[in-house]
Amino acid sequence: MSILVNNSTKLICQGITGSSGAFHTAGCLAYGTNVVGGVTPGKGGQKDANGLPVFNTVAEAVRKTGANATMIFVPPPFAADSILEAADAGIELICAITEGIPVSDMMRVKASLEKYPNTVLIGPNCPGIITPGKKVSGDGANATFEDGCKIGIMPGYIHTAPCDASSGKGVGIISRSGTLTYEAVWQTSSLGLGQTTCIGIGGDPIKGANFIDLLARFESDDETDGVVMIGEIGGSDETQAGKWIKENMTKPVVAFIAGITAPRGKRMGHAGAIIGGEDDTAQAKIESLRNSGLTVSDSPAGIGEAMAEALGLVAVAK
């Protein structure tokens, strides 16, 4: 099983005729995602470089294709309205890849999304979401897959479906960091673990789905045996997630917190990665998560081994 996306997901791209939208739409198609069209106002009736139909509005795209998911590659000044347009059209899953959306715009989006309880927003400033497909041929970047769904910019070939994993185990991955998402995927794949679904939730201070929202879905997923949770400095999301895990999760959760050497008051890459108080530091979050019973890897290089050990697959030297 998987969460949020699978091979029946019908995807559109908002901003499909822009350079980023066109490039990553092609990547999703190549992975096997069921991309059914795209939206660029004023260019409706055309075909994109991949031969997909272009529509003027999301509502039109939904009406004519049955789309239920979208990925947004719209410039920051217009991205918030693109999110709300998708929600208003009945899209169930919105992946906002765009970086640099003003915080005030996202505050408006968060308030407005309360009117759409059936819509899940991933991001913004995120790599997207993937449910790995079964490999049918090739290796590395030349591999081909089926029955998977990739939405966004993740490198699909490093992922492993649980059915292809030597251990037969599947893990879910949730991360604030795009590159650390890929690192966790590579490590778990290399150790014979599959991934049920991987979600990059983004590094902005105001965003859509958070750790707890997705942990609850993984807890209910029969094919997910454990979860990797990757956080960073700034905010209290990881601490709150740890408390929720202690009270609600039956599956092992392995965490890593980035930014242990970050200086106070300096933003480290992501807009939300800034230490504002004692509870925002990496060390404070690590201690809180360990107090909640989680395994916390001290190094990004140990995430995969920690997950395998939590599932009883390997013994890691201490």
SS3 label, residue 289: helix
Q: Longest C-alpha distance within the chain, in Å?
A: 61
Residue 137 parent element (H or E): strand 134-137
In angstroms, the CA 195 to CA 179 distance is 16
Q: Write the single-letter amino acid at 117.
A: P
Write phi, then psi, for 26 (nearest 5 degrees): -60, -40
| Cα–Cα distance measured from residue 140 to residue 136, given in angstroms and rounded to the nearest whole number | 12
Q: Please state, in angstroms and rounded to a whole number, the distance separating the CA atoms of residues 272 and 24.
A: 25
Whole-angstrom distance, CA of residue 311 vs CA of residue 316? 12
State the burial class of residue 31 (Cβ atoms within 10 Å of its Cβ: 0-12, 13-18, 19+). buried
- Compute CA 59 distance to the chain's CA centroid, rounded to the nearest angstrom: 25
Q: Which sequence positions are flagged as catalytic?
A: 270
Distance CA 63, CA 167 (A): 43
Nearest CA to 53 out of 71, 40, 68 is that of: 40
| Cis status, amide bond into 155, omega within 30 of 0 | no
CB 255 within 8 A of CB 238: yes
Picking from 39, 214, 54, the residue whose alpha carbon sits closest to that of residue 126 is: 214
**Cα 81 from chain centroid (whole Å):** 21
Take residue 225 and report the two structure tokens written for it.
Answer: 């045996």
